Structure 1
Amino acid sequence: MTDPQNRLATRKPATVGLLLMLTLLGVFPIDVVLPSFPALSEHFQSPSSDIALSVSLFAVGIALSQLLIGPLSDVMGRKNLLLIGITVAAIGATGCVFADSYWTFLFFRVVQALGCGCFVLSQALIQDLFTGREQQRLRIFLVTCGGIFISVSPLAGTGLQSWMGWRGSFLVFIVLAMGVFASACLLLERSTAGSQPRRLNFIAAYRTVCADFSFMAYWLTSALAFSCHFSFIVISPLILIDQLHFSPEAFSLALLGYGLAYIGGGAVASVLSNRIDSQTQIITGLGLILSAGVLMLGLSSHLGLSVTTLLLPMIVCTAGTTIARAAAHTQAMNRFPERAGTSASAGSVLIFILGGLTSAAISLTPLDLQLTLALCLVLLSLLGLALNALVRHRYKGLLAD
């Protein structure tokens, strides 16, 4: 490590706090606005489908932004890109607050998304500033917290909508962004980057990391595990509100309970990280997701749709997701430590795309949603297990050669 990195690593509580806030801001702007759809639709005199479009474009904006930010941070340094990104995101959120028309709101929502792409640098910062088991423990912690943040965001959005109206979530985002900006200025050194300065070449950077089979396999494993969790979050209103007739408040509390299960999953992952290797952790996590899918199939066929038959298997899935993703992240990021920014961006875009496509396919299916979700858990976990079996086979082949 360089001297700046050592100085930062000695301030671990503050460093971890910064990484935690980056994780929060990476998921907060998407789910927290969902309870405000009716209010946004009324304010801008636009149908709900138009408001939903703003969420879709937000996702596209983040994905496009991350493709640029990763390689740029390997050249310019993490701090520069992070501060620029936070500023752009805050400007976008401010524009949303003062928007007087739907198209103005949509424009600034995309601006906010482009800035939010910088939060992918949390993975690169872990790679830069920590080593060995510390990296995996931090990734377990952040994956756990990320799942909790996603799950409790609708509850936070409900509260903010009741208290401050639809502008509440954007105002809170601006305040949080200002706090993260100040923390980054104090904690990060200008020289914080994953490599020595090099000529910027986006195509060459992505070709280098994406040509590595193991790198792509581990990130795809993380994407498959994340898709199981994300798909449930996306279709949960369709099941809990539309089919089980939950009130918005009861729905938010149900997701809060599900989010708390991430704490248990994180605890299990922390124990396993000290006792078994990363590859075994990945297999264990995927095995739990597979068990959750089979359990959901069995419960739904015998007991029908209920909160128990839905949430109990998903709690098991949560543990598997946390274990598999943290281990897969570490394995993937360790492939190219000198290109941590590019590596993090490539993986995050893959996770985002696969999660979005999977959740969209489930929500649009004409089949029973719970049955489709259960089959999704089984299929994605089997794909992950097959992929990692191929990684092990190729590794043994290389050793034999």
Structure 2
Amino acid sequence: MTDPQNRLAARKPATVGLLLTLTLLGVFPIDVVLPSFPALSGHFERPSSDIALSVSLFAVGIALSQLLVGPLSDVMGRKNLLLIGITVSAVGATGCVLADGYWSFLLSRIVQALGCGFFVLSQALIQDLFTGQEQQRLRIFLVTCGGIFISVSPLAGTGLQSWMGWRGSFLVFIALAIGAFIGASRLLHHGAAGSQPRRLDFIAAYRKVCGDFRFMAYWLTSALAFSCHFSFIVISPLVLIDQLHLSPEAFSLALLGYGLAYIGGGAVATVLSHRIDPQAQIITGLGLILGAGLLMLGLTHSLGLSVTTLLVPMIVCTTGTTIARAAAHTQAMNRFPGQAGTSASAGSVLIFTVGGLTSAAISLTPLDLQLTLALCLVLLSLLGLALNALVRQHGKGLLAG
């Protein structure tokens, strides 16, 4: 590492604090707005499914911006691009506050998402500034904290909705973005790129990483696991508020219990990281997601729709998601440590594209939402298990060769 990187790595508490802030900014715009679905629906005179669609498009917007930011950061460094991303996300949030119609609101949400896509650089910074087990421990920690943020955000959103209306969450995001901008300006150095400056070639950069089967398989595994969580988040207001008629406060408390399951998942993932290899961790996580889907199918058939039949399986799913994603992230990022920005972008584009499209399909389906979600958990986990069976066969083939 260069001297600036050494100085930054030596200030680990501040570095981790910045990464935590970026993690918060990444999940806050999605989850904090959930209790405001009825208010947004009433204000813009659109059905709740249209508001849910804005969340799915938010994920797709993040994916699109990540296509550019990763390779750019490998050449230009992380700091300037991160500052640009924070600024764009704040501009988009400001547009949401000022929106006078659904389509202007939707456009501003996409702009906000394009800026939030730059927060993928936190994965590249982990790769740049930490080594070995530190990387996986930090990723487990951030996934766990992301779950805590998920659990607290809807409750915060309920309070902000009562205090300032639906615009409150966007105003708080702007304040957080300003704080992150100041922190990144002071903490990061212009030399915090993962490699020496070189000619920018997007096609060549992505061809190199995406041409690696194991790299793509690990990121797709993470995408499948993420889609299970993200799909639930998107449809949760449609089920808990519209169908079960929970108040915004009760809805927030229900998601609080779900989000806190990330703490348990993080603890289990930490223990497993010391006892079994990453491939076994991935299979364990996917197995839990599969079990969650089967459990939801059984509960749906026998007891019907309720908060319990929805949340209990999703808590099991959350544990599996935390375990699988942390291990898959580390395995993927270790494939091309010299191209951490491109690697992080390629993977995150895949994650948010799959998550956004899957959640949009579920939210717009005419079928029963709980049944559709249960089938989604089963299908995605089976796809992940089949994919990792191919990874093992591919590894054996390389050894035999």
Give the TM-score, by structure 1 length. 0.94
3-state SS of 1:257 partner: helix
Which piece of structure 1 moves more, 274-283 or 5-14?
5-14
In 2, Cα distance between equivalents of 1:309 and 1:319? 17
Q: How far 1:102 sits from its partner (Å)?
A: 5.3
CA contact 1:69–1:81 (8 Å) conserved in 2: yes
Q: How far 1:369 sits from its partner (Å)?
A: 2.5
| 1:250 match | 250
- The number of aligned residues is 401
| 1:86 match | 86
Counterpart code for 1:64: L
CA contact 1:215–1:332 (8 Å) conserved in 2: yes
Q: Deviations over 1:234-291 (max 9, x none)?
A: 2222322233222221111100110011100001101111111111110111111112
- 1:37/1:258 CA distance change after superposition, 3 Å: closer
Which piece of structure 1 moves more, 124-133 or 198-207?
198-207
| 1:58 match | 58
In 1, Cα distance between equivalents of 2:378 and 2:96? 40
| 2:198 match | 198
- 1:34/1:277 CA distance change after superposition, 3 Å: same
| 1:371 match | 371
Q: Deviations over 1:182-224 (max 9, x none)?
A: 1112221110001111111111111111111000000000011
| 2:292 match | 292
Which piece of structure 1 moves more, 245-254 or 35-44?
35-44
Counterpart code for 1:114: L
- 1:368/1:46 CA distance change after superposition, 3 Å: closer
Q: What are the residue-to-residue correspondences of 1:297-316 with 2, within 5 Å?
A: 297-316=297-316
Which piece of structure 1 moves more, 141-150 or 21-30?
141-150
Which piece of structure 1 moves more, 142-151 or 312-321?
142-151
Q: Which runs of 5+ in 2 are unaligned?
A: none
- 1:136/1:33 CA distance change after superposition, 3 Å: same
3-state SS of 1:274 partner: helix
- 1:384/1:116 CA distance change after superposition, 3 Å: same
- 1:278/1:258 CA distance change after superposition, 3 Å: same
| 1:118 match | 118
**2:353 aligned with 1:353:** yes
Q: How far 1:136 sits from its partner (Å)?
A: 0.3
CA contact 2:59–2:355 (8 Å) conserved in 1: no
CA contact 1:214–1:332 (8 Å) conserved in 2: yes
Q: How far 1:57 sits from its partner (Å)?
A: 4.5
Q: What are the residue-to-residue correspondences of 1:311-326 with 2, within 5 Å?
A: 311-326=311-326
Counterpart code for 1:154: P
Q: What are the residue-to-residue correspondences of 1:10-21 with 2, within 5 Å?
A: 10-21=10-21
In 2, Cα distance between equivalents of 1:220 and 1:191? 31
In 2, Cα distance between equivalents of 1:103 and 1:296? 36
In 2, Cα distance between equivalents of 1:315 and 1:55? 22
| 1:147 match | 147
In 2, Cα distance between equivalents of 1:106 and 1:226? 23
In 1, Cα distance between equivalents of 2:99 and 2:230? 30
Counterpart code for 1:218: Y
RMSD across aligned C-alpha pairs, in angstroms?
2.0
Q: How far 1:173 sits from its partner (Å)?
A: 0.9
Counterpart code for 1:68: L
**2:218 aligned with 1:218:** yes
Give the TM-score, by structure 2 length. 0.94
Counterpart code for 1:314: M
Q: How far 1:31 sits from its partner (Å)?
A: 2.8
| 2:390 match | 390
| 1:129 match | 129
Percent sequence identity over aligned pairs: 87
3-state SS of 2:113 partner: helix
Q: Deviations over 1:347-382 (max 9, x none)?
A: 111111111222223233343322222222122111
CA contact 1:151–1:233 (8 Å) conserved in 2: no
3-state SS of 2:275 partner: coil
- 1:163/1:325 CA distance change after superposition, 3 Å: same
| 1:96 match | 96
Counterpart code for 2:93: A
In 2, Cα distance between equivalents of 1:27 and 1:190? 26
Q: How far 1:304 sits from its partner (Å)?
A: 2.8
